Structure 1
């Protein structure tokens, strides 16, 4: 990572004709303070961008292994919203409801699998680290350059939970993959090139928003994770058109919502649809809290490595399953 700037969200300035609508949104929105739960595709967030080399071999916080991430352009969102508080372990993860005020944009994994569009603004004139409490862009100034307005589309696959200035003091900070930093496109459509190599990064102010998955085609991808066996079915869900807020499984008689116990936003422990535990049927709830594809049902068997009483070993971190679908009721 390189250094970054803490930029507080600008207050919204509604025109007179829009004042009534602004008031109807409530005092929170009127003040320009957006909670993670209200994160919407139409909202623009202002913060700063850093970069990181890669997610861990077993996957980032969202749970998807590197080889299975939809794009090399990916980002991490902040776990915490705790300016100037750099405690090593501020709270358990997932963050409990009684501490929801310290949730960052990662939102306990609820923003995993969503896409963002990032636009560059000013950069810091000097490179500096994210030492806790030392400030951001210290010893330098923010300056515009020819890269202002360059853009990048990237998928959320990880979280920034470190106790540094970046991950605590800028709620809208994005940590961008090193590869992604070299893939920005200028407003005229030309490649921006390697901004880090050109000395034009040093962390930059950014504006970003959630967007639908660009050029989306096909359907979701499913795989059992390591440890899967007859009585334990951790499922990884990726290639999402609009993120994922939950999963429902059919237990043979009714639909039930998976109870999340971790903040691995794309990993869900599901139950089987039959007593023999050989068949599973699920449906997905997207980031708009709507059933994906009108409630489309996905049915599949156990992972090959988990047939009988077998268990997917620790080296088997991604075990694809082939599914069949049928239209859902959308209810």
Structure 2
């Protein structure tokens, strides 16, 4: 489905990417291994800080992760996956896709020295027989966008309520005191991290809308990207009334729409972000089925322009 998980544990960091406009375009931290249930609901643009371990992965999307967005359409090439399930409390931080498209800040923590990490069995601890050490990478930061879920059966993603899985190429982009921390990708094993949800830094412009592969007038699924606080819900206007759109499975940024008239080609939607706030004050987005798709869209993502 997605990529090969590497048993490497990561640290968190924040390098704020500049998000450009589209074409129209408290709770205390819960320590890793805690039995406390993870909090998966979102109540603020800046969330409580989570403490966790982290793995990294080499992306093998065909053509996208579980949030549904192709890599080329992401706001930043520093992207991450949240745990799909959690042994500590059922639904993981992926929250059935509701945290897709949100930004997190990640800060690098301690490295495990002289020990071994959880290799899979349920209930197995992290950094067994070792000790946690603050090395030169400690405190480096970076911003990531949530683009996937971590559903592996080895329990790296399950035993830790707030586990993070980071795209391996992004490990070379952590910054500390204005300096890029080269070499971190090879020094990542058994890393502790802290992280929190944040509003997209330096956000400008408006959302982007694209039709998913296999969309047609009888079944239409669109991807919503470039939101300051992710996407929490979508309504479409049909036959004179607003109706709630459903997420396409657990593909968190994909919503199935109806046209303004059944089986039509014109669409009108309004969007709520992950914090429950109407996007652009509740403005409607008006667009049409792409003429380039003809009867059915064959590309992974076909962008469209819109009017308000």
In which range does the TM-score fall when normalised by the shorter chain? 0.7 to 0.9
1:108 matched to 2:96? The reply is: yes
1:2 shift after superposition:
2.5
User: Could you tell me which residue of structure 1 aligns to residue 276 of structure 2?
Assistant: 289
1:35 matched to 2:53? The reply is: no
Secondary structure of residue in 1 paired with 2:72: helix
1:311 matched to 2:299? The reply is: no
1:158 matched to 2:143? The reply is: no
1:47 matched to 2:52? The reply is: yes
* Alpha-carbon distance in 2 for matches of 1:62, 1:227: 17
RMSD between aligned alpha carbons?
Answer: 2.3
Contact 2:42 2:274 in 1 (8 A): no
Q: 1:66 to 1:222 in 2, by over 3 A?
A: same
1:174 shift after superposition:
0.6
* Alpha-carbon distance in 1 for matches of 2:37, 2:151: 21
Normalised by the size of structure 2, how large is the TM-score? 0.84
1:194 matched to 2:183? The reply is: yes
Q: 1:278 to 1:165 in 2, by over 3 A?
A: closer
Q: 1:324 to 1:38 in 2, by over 3 A?
A: closer
- Cα deviations by residue, 1:24-46 (Å, 9 ceiling, x for unpaired): xxxxxxx9755201464231111
Structure 1 or 2: more helix by fraction: 1
1:261 shift after superposition:
5.2
Structure 1 or 2: more strand by fraction: 2
Secondary structure of residue in 1 paired with 2:201: coil
1:3 shift after superposition:
3.8
Contact 2:221 2:248 in 1 (8 A): no
Contact 1:49 1:174 in 2 (8 A): yes
Aligned residues: 280
Q: Which moved more, 1:56-65 or 1:252-261?
A: 252-261
Contact 1:113 1:157 in 2 (8 A): yes
Contact 1:112 1:156 in 2 (8 A): yes
1:229 shift after superposition:
1.0
* Alpha-carbon distance in 1 for matches of 2:191, 2:246: 38
User: Could you tell me which residue of structure 1 aligns to residue 105 of structure 2?
Assistant: 117
Aligned pairs for 1:244-255 (under 5 A) are: 244-255=231-242
User: Could you tell me which residue of structure 2 aligns to residue 18 of structure 1?
Assistant: none
1:294 shift after superposition:
0.2
1:168 matched to 2:158? The reply is: yes
Show structure 1 runs of 5+ residues with no match.
Answer: 14-30, 84-100, 326-331
Normalised by the size of structure 1, how large is the TM-score? 0.79
